[in-house]
């Protein structure tokens, strides 16, 4: 598996976890559903969090 969110790129196994999803299978299924249905995924900066894993923008910045 890839070990990171396909949308925001946050590493799934690194703390802090906050309120985000860390299961790769669930994230991949959510991502594929959006892509297969041609639904546009908003950027994390616009929405304030990742639409796939739920990581907040500040948490994503900390992991980079």
| Distance between CA atoms of residues 8 and 42, nearest Å | 10
> What pLDDT is attached to residue 52?
94
| pLDDT tens profile 8-52 | 999 999 988 988 999 999 999 999 999 999 999 988 888 889 999
33 against 64, higher pLDDT:
33
| Distance between CA atoms of residues 64 and 37, nearest Å | 30
> What pLDDT is attached to residue 43?
85
Q: Which residues face 4 on adjacent strands?
A: 11
Question: Quick one: residue 36, left, alpha or beta (phi over 0 = left, psi -120 to 50 = alpha)?
Answer: alpha
Q: For the whole model, what pTM was predicted?
A: 0.83
Tally of domains within the chain: 1
Q: Which residue range(s) make up the domain with 1?
A: 1-64
pLDDT greater than 70 at residue 1: no
């Amino acid at each position: 598996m890839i070990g990171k969110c396909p949308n925001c790129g946050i590493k799934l196994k690194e703390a802090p976890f906050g309120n985000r999803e860390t299961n790769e299978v669930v994230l991949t299924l959510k991502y594929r559903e959006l892509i297969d249905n041609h639904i546009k995924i908003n950027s994390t900066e616009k929405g304030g969090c990742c639409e796939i894993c739920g990581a907040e923008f500040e948490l994503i910045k900390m992991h980079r």
